[in-house]
Structure 1
Amino acid sequence: MWLVWMVPPSCCAEVPALIRDSGAGPSGLVAAKTLLHDVAPGYFNVTIYDAQSRVGGLWPLSKFDTAGLVHPLMVANQSKHTMQFSDLAWDDATPQMPKAWQVGQYLDRYLKRYGGADVRLGHRVVQTELQDGGAWKVQTESDQGPETSLFDYLLVTTGFFGTPIWPDYIPKDAEIPIMHSSKYRDLKALLSRTNGQGGRILVVGGQMSGVEIAGTIATHLSSAANCPGAKPIQNPEKYSIHHVAHRPSWVFPLFTTAKADASAPPFLPCDLPSYNQAVRPQPLENNQGHISVDSAKHLNSVFQFVLGTDQAEFSPNLRLHGDSLEQQPFLAMSSHYADFVRSGLIIPSIGKVTSLSGDTATVSPGNREIGDIAAVVLATGFDPAPSVAFLPADVLGTISYDPSQPSLPTGLAFHGTQHPSLPTLGFIGFYRSPYWGVMEMQARFMAKLWTTPDHSAVLKEALRRDDSISRTLTLRSDPRMSQFPMGDYQWLMQEFAKALEITISDPLEIPPLGNDKSMDIITPARYAYPGVKDAQLVEIKKNLTSTQETAIVGLTKAKFVAHAVFRSLLGEWRLERDLSSRLPSHPSGRFVGTAKFLLREGTTDGREVPEDGDLGMEYLYIEDGDFTASNGMTFRATRRYVWRYDETRDVLSVWFAKTDDNMRADYLFHELEFIVPTENDGKGWKAKASHLCIEDLYDVHYDFLFKAVNLKEFRLGYTVKGPKKDYTIAGVYRRAETLVTL
């Protein structure tokens, strides 16, 4: 998938942009649109070369497109308020965190809205040559054969996802199944050669992809073990996940809170609190790249405050404390990873895999062995080398290309966009964490450079002061380099806006957080390009309104609380319940035992299948323990329910289990209605519900006690009244002790 853009000689410029294996992806599409419609309409003709047969790059266009590097059902770890271009709004029905295939459809819609490029699918760029005078000869291959074209400008929008990295210490002809995390789709493919004998699934690699894939596989194992009917694999309960990473990461859920110290914390998509520039001194200074000891201490303390934990409650091997708080923090995103660690399904191990022989891996330090490995998943990242392999050797030398530096392979000026010695070559999105707003800014920057030879005084000064190349080359040998060297999204948006003289729109009208804190959320839509057309302004307004409304309902209503509760229920709880009956026919007593919330894919029992077929996730709830009656008699007691979360309605519900098949849901017990607290009374979030069972009325109430993003305790009680019933039940759920695995 390559991208090339150009203009016929009669139009002053031909602009090529190349993307390998992610051709008409977000970087390329926003660049084409910017050149054709924004900075200098009519100045460029644009040709896009893409090796794939579809647009979208890494992002599949349908939920059935499983051939690429991204699973179509993968949930994005940024919301639609960040994964957007300024002038195309998402559909209102799209969830806050879109799935990969929905991102692909957004990109397809973006191309159709802002067309005009000559999109040549199935064309791979294999070589480029820089001509005297700055033009570029580009050679491509397709089913129609080789082709050579000449362009005035070359724009590289390849991104970092060149080829999956396969470490030298992992044999390619191993006795057990091994795959890269980008190729994982389901348990059947991963465990096809294990015959259901069980064992450890070894996940190699930390940071983002290691945590995400371990959490995904754990979700699939849990679902397979707890689903009704036939199992998708044999003996899913016999498998566990052993995750080896060289250091622990802070694991954030997809919804976090901007008020971590509140007893009833409000929840928002994770990027909205993260991109609140009101909490940072102005003007912004870059907080990524080199991380000093003091900066590391500050950032780690912020992450611990937002999560409300040092993560020891999940596992000692996830705990960040002591000297680790002086190291640059690593961040990962996963809804369920941490609680699967707590339950013991995922076993984290600190170290580095050094070899694999048979079904045994050796881990340093200490040459520890992990045996009984059923399969290996490599979360070892990508080699960006193929993404620039088409460039001439002398050009690669000019941009300081170093294949041994996968995080910083090139030395480029002005935040990864160009090199002064190569005025007809540009780059967009060629860095880790290519947030969409920055890609849009990079496209505007390159278009401005190429269309205005006499730069404004502001742009000249920005170019003069830029130290991106020297900073990048220094970071290559810096042991304190941040996880994402170009990861300060807010600062990058500020720097591009200043250079391009783009004025950020006024902050969205969002209620303050209290304690003199406000919300000034950065989104791409706040950086409209001057002179946009009326139709674009309509889309910009839709984007801003969507973000504003999301923030308001999250901060002032009970929106997303059901999601936060549902996510945090996973695993085992200690349960104590008192029953007080006012009728002699029903004994009073006390129940003491455990309650388990076992995660699985949503089932159809008792409900209609939505149009998109997405039933979300649900829990099989199993409680088991001893009930001691007031007369002293003790007997074993157990019960089952199914707990469901409906993302479209943002509703948490509880369903009775069938008596003849207690793995299945029967009919609705009740839906929880969360109550917005009138004051910070220290009692957490409350919810209520009611259910009429023939002639018996159940009035139900809940209290959910959070510490930041994690549910620590909840209370469930109800009053039952009917012709032959008159009793109250009050139960308290507290987290069971963490399973210690070293």
Structure 2
Amino acid sequence: MTNTIKTVCVVGAGPSGLAAAKTLLHDAPNGIKYDVTIFDSQPRVGGLWPVDKADEAGLVHPAMIANQSRHTMRFSDLSWSDDAPQIPRAFQVGGYLELYRQRYCQEATLRLACKVEKADLVSGELGHYWQIRTQSENVIEEHVFDYLVIASGYFGEPAFPAFLKDDAKYQIPVVHSSKYRDLEQLLGDTKGKSGKILVVGGQFSGVEIAGTIATHVSDAVNAPGPRRNDFIDQASQKPKFSVHHLVQRPTWILPLVTASTPADSAPCFLPMDLNSQNLSNRPPGPLVNTQGHISVDTARFVNSYFRNLLKTDQSEFSPGLTVQEADYDNQPFLGISDTYMDHVRCGAITISRGKLESISGNTANVASPSGEKIEDVAAIVLATGFKASASLSFLSEDVQQKLSIAPNDLNNTVALAFHSTHHPEVPNLGFVGFYRSPYWGAIEMQARFVTALFSYGGPLSSSLPASMAEALKNDTSIGRVLSLRTDPRASQFPMGDYAWLSQEFGIALNIERVPSLRKMPILPPKKKEMNILTAARYPGNNLGESRRKENEKNLSITEEVVTAGITGGRFVARAVFRSLLGEWKLDREFISKRPEQPSGRFIGTATFSLRNGTPHGREEEFAKIERDGGDPGFEYLYVEDGEFIDEAKGLKFNATRRYVWRYNERKDKLSVWFVKTDEDRTADYLFHEIDFIPPGEGGKGEDGWKAKGSHLCIEDMYDVQYKFAFNSVNLREWNLGYSVKGPKKDYSIDGVYRR
């Protein structure tokens, strides 16, 4: 045991840098104390994640919806606030990170707006140390540290297609997806403009940004207030702009909330990451790695799994989205978006297959074999990823060579040992966050391993605990990572699967996975108790009382949410709301018990157009959300058009109705609002809230989820009945019935909505 204080330079103040700093300050074994300095070129912490709604200078738009739930985007010893959304916006993630810094990193020296320009490893009489040069504004400083932790991540600089030159001038805007904020910024003055917004790239960021832009177009067209004539063609009354998505391979698209029981017409729902990390779905015994090189057999198994999970090959949305049986031999790829699929279905997004080869005027040329020319392009958004090499350019050339850094390696593979934590030939250097997947638990484990490695003297030290020494002895990470650079069958996230990595780090560090605090629900068809993996399942050793309570709170909250989803119908309202987007065929029967009122049939369409949440009719609630730094979410403008026929009375006339549908994330509740008669896109007042009937009270049937609502209009009572039948995550059809009674009214309406 020693009381020596060692100095550590941490590069990056995002999730990885803060986790590294916290672990060095609070969890170092062997009696070592660390003096930690964190450098970040940005003027705030958070890395990718902005810390407030106004922070638009980074790589992520503050309003972007995260593609994981708060249960995954947190560390083991800090819970989110109780009123935080289940799936947060980017600025809310940044806010969590700022709270984490305040809680655990106060003892660290934080140097913001200060960029690390150079890092040299120096060998002296007393061993190795790092000489660091930084620049802030016009001030250059030199520092000396015992250790260096690189936590700057993979998003060093945007990657562009090879034919694009930095100084090239194009007739249309060409931007990277990380710089997209809104339509006005992208297009400039929209007067007289129209055409396609071409999104290039089909993985996570491509799917996300295509869905986002389509939503922005929908909002511009359907928002209340003065009509946006710069976005609407006056002759057709259709949007002047649409999204054209150029992808290279078929991709499975998952929503943020997926079905835990996809075979049911009334499935249970949970956030996608909680369903995917149910360890009860894994084979018994020690976990094996499912990522890296993907064999044909594995590819066919996983592609079949996603087909069964979604209950579709995606052709119902567009032929361009179809994952054909012939594609099952290839490694599967995923995208995540709540809006993308139905924007495609309703024509707001068009899909082409191929690789962008060149830009000529307002035409995008696709490489052979398709050779397609995408014409009338108004702007191009490149979702083509990032180069990690820029995050490591401050290292000396000899160190970069040891790490086998290849600037043009778009797989961003760095030759690092034991799951991307260090290199045995570069002393006193650690890495945290060089892991291509969004699970923060892996970051936390890397931080623990690097801290332990420093504290016990490095990977070759005889002082290493037996478990760490054995783990390093059997480690093949460097060879495996380098082989992935040229492996045509490398997986989408090749660094290793999260559950397996957690297991391997746990074994090396003697950190056991703790059991659930309560009995968890049992899921068919395996009839096993759910076993959800989050960072809180590996709380670390020697926690103090306050950290132990935070960890137990994290465990408890996740278990409560999972139980509510499986046994109480939580997230059903959200799943319904997501799946309404677009156009439905509507067949409604009207039966009146009063002879003076017509009875007949309405045939037409109902369209749900997505837009940003508006305050109308709920001004006080909306203002509170704004004051609290919350998010009003989205809403739909509902428009039905069709023809009503009463054959007995010889009546026939066109009819239309408009409502606004809203989803309240905090209450997990849908509501329907009347629209003002003189402002046909503005909500007026509440019609009714939709209350889903609990499963134990008959709400969950073989033919779908049942819900109800009511509304008293002066003396007339409206009793409303709903039934929503799912095909896994997507609504197959739904029914809406009214029973209306009053002094002068006595009729019923029964309508069915089908795609």
Q: Could you state the TM-score of these two structures normalised by the residue count of structure 2?
A: 0.94
Report how far residue 146 of structure 1 moved.
1.1
Is 1:620 the equivalent of 2:614? Answer: no
* 2:251 alignment partner in structure 1: 249
Cα drift, residue 597 of structure 1: 0.6
Corresponding residue of 2:432: 428
SS at match of 1:182: helix
**Aligned residue type for 2:416:** L
Deviation at 1:325, TM superposition (A): 1.3
AA of the residue aligned to 1:96: Q
1:146 aligns with 2:140: yes
SS of 2:641's partner is strand
Aligned equivalent of 2:73: 83
Match of 1:295 in 2: 298
CA positional deviation for 1:144: 5.8
Q: 2:128 aligns with which of 134, 137, 141?
A: 134
Q: In structure 1, list runs of 5 or more residues that go unmatched.
A: 1-8, 736-742
Residue 319 of structure 1, aligned match among 296, 315, 322: 322
Task: Output the amino acid matched with 1:733.
Answer: Y
Residue equivalent to 1:216: 212
Could you tell me how far apart the structure 2 residues matched to 1:571 and 1:93 are?
Answer: 30
In the aligned structure 2, how far is the partner of 1:610 from the partner of 1:538?
33
Deviations along 1:659-685, one digit per CA (max 9) or x if unpaired, are 122211111111101012347641110
- Is contact 2:222-2:681 (8 Å) kept? yes
Q: Distance in 1 between matches of 2:617 and 2:736?
A: 24
- The equivalent residue for 1:230 is 226
1:4 corresponding residue in structure 2: none
Percent identical: 54
Q: Structure 2: how far apart are the matches of 1:196 and 1:629? A: 45
**Residue of structure 2 in register with 1:543 after alignment:** 554
What secondary structure sits across from 2:638 in the alignment? Answer: strand
1:655 CA drift (Å)? 1.0
- Could you give the per-residue CA deviations for residues 403-453 of structure 1, whole angstroms, max 9, x where no partner exists? 221223311110001111123111111132252111110010011111124
Rounded to whole Å, the distance in 2 between the matches of 1:279 and 1:465 is 27
Find the partner of 1:664 among 682, 686, 698: 682
Task: Confirm or deny: 8 A CA contact 2:590 2:750 kept in the other structure.
Answer: yes
d(CA) in 2 for partners of 1:175, 1:557: 55
Q: Distance in 1 between matches of 2:217 and 2:331?
A: 33
Secondary structure class of the residue paired with 1:423: coil
**Aligned runs of 1:481-560 on 2, under 5 Å?**
481-509=490-518, 510-515=520-525, 516-560=527-571
SS where residue 624 of structure 2 aligns?
A: coil
1:354 corresponds to 2:361: no
Cα distance in 2, alignment partners of residues 487 and 700 from structure 1: 50
Unpaired stretches in structure 2, ≥5 consecutive residues: 233-238, 458-462
Decide whether the 8 Å contact of 2:173 with 2:378 is kept in 1. Answer: yes
Match of 2:9 in 1: 16
Q: Which residue is equivalent to 1:674?
A: 692
Name the CA distance, whole Å, in 1 between partners of 2:311 and 2:723: 19
- 1:11-47 deviations in whole A, cap 9, x for unaligned? 35222222xxxx2111001101101111246611111
Tell me if structure 2 keeps the 8 A contact 1:194–1:374: no
Paired residues of 2:691 and 2:707 also in contact (CA < 8 A)? yes
Report the Cα distance in structure 1 between the residues aligned to 2:228 and 2:656, rounded to whole angstroms: 27
Match of 1:6 in 2: none
Aligned with 1:57 (options 6, 23, 47): 47
What is the CA-CA distance between 1:151 and the residue it aligns to? Answer: 1.2
Q: 1:683 aligns with which of 703, 709, 719?
A: 703
- Output the amino acid matched with 2:249: R
Secondary structure at the aligned position of 1:661 is classed as coil
State the Cα distance separating 1:195 from its structure 2 match.
Answer: 2.5
Q: Counterpart amino acid of 2:646?
A: A
Shift of 1:233: 7.3
Aligned to 2:747: 727
State the Cα distance separating 1:194 from its structure 2 match: 4.3
Q: Secondary structure at the match of 2:46?
A: coil
The residue aligned with 1:104 is: 94
Distance in 1 separating the partners of 2:646 and 2:145? 85
Residue 235 of structure 2 aligns with which residue?
none
In the other structure, the counterpart of 1:268 is: 270
- Identify the match of residue 709 of structure 1 among 719, 723, 729: 729
Do the aligned partners of residues 193 and 179 (structure 1) sit closer, same or farther apart at CA in structure 2, a change above 3 Å counting?
farther
Confirm or deny: 8 A CA contact 1:196 1:233 kept in the other structure. Answer: no
- Do the aligned residues in 2 keep the contact of 1:187 with 1:233 (CA within 8 Å)? no
Contact 1:74 1:100 in 2 (8 A): yes
Match 1:570 to one of 581, 591, 600: 581
Query: How far 1:610 moved relative to its partner?
Result: 3.7
Q: Give secondary structure in 2 for the equivalent of 1:85.
A: coil
CA distance in 1, matches of 2:438, 2:558: 20
List, as ranges, runs of 4+ consecutive aligned residues in structure 1 with deviation greater than 4 Å.
none
* Pair 1:309 & 2:299 matched: no
Corresponding residue number in structure 2 for 1:183: 179
C-alpha displacement at 1:65, in angstroms?
Answer: 0.5
1:624-662 deviations in Å (ceiling 9; x for gaps): 111110323221111111111111111101111111222
User: Given the alignment of the two structures, is residue 463 of structure 1 paired with residue 472 of structure 2, yes or no?
Assistant: yes
- Aligned residue identity for 2:611: R
- In structure 1, C-alpha distance between the alignment counterparts of 2:44 and 2:726, rounded to whole Å: 45
Q: Residue 705 of structure 1 aligns to a residue in which SS? A: strand
Contact 2:5 2:35 in 1 (8 A): no
Map 1:434-449; keep pairs closer than 5 Å.
434-449=438-453
- Which amino acid counterpart does residue 295 of structure 1 have in structure 2? T
Q: CA RMSD in A?
A: 1.5
- The residue correspondences of 1:399-438 to structure 2 (distance < 5 A) are 399-438=403-442
> Structure 2: which amino acid aligns with 1:461?
E
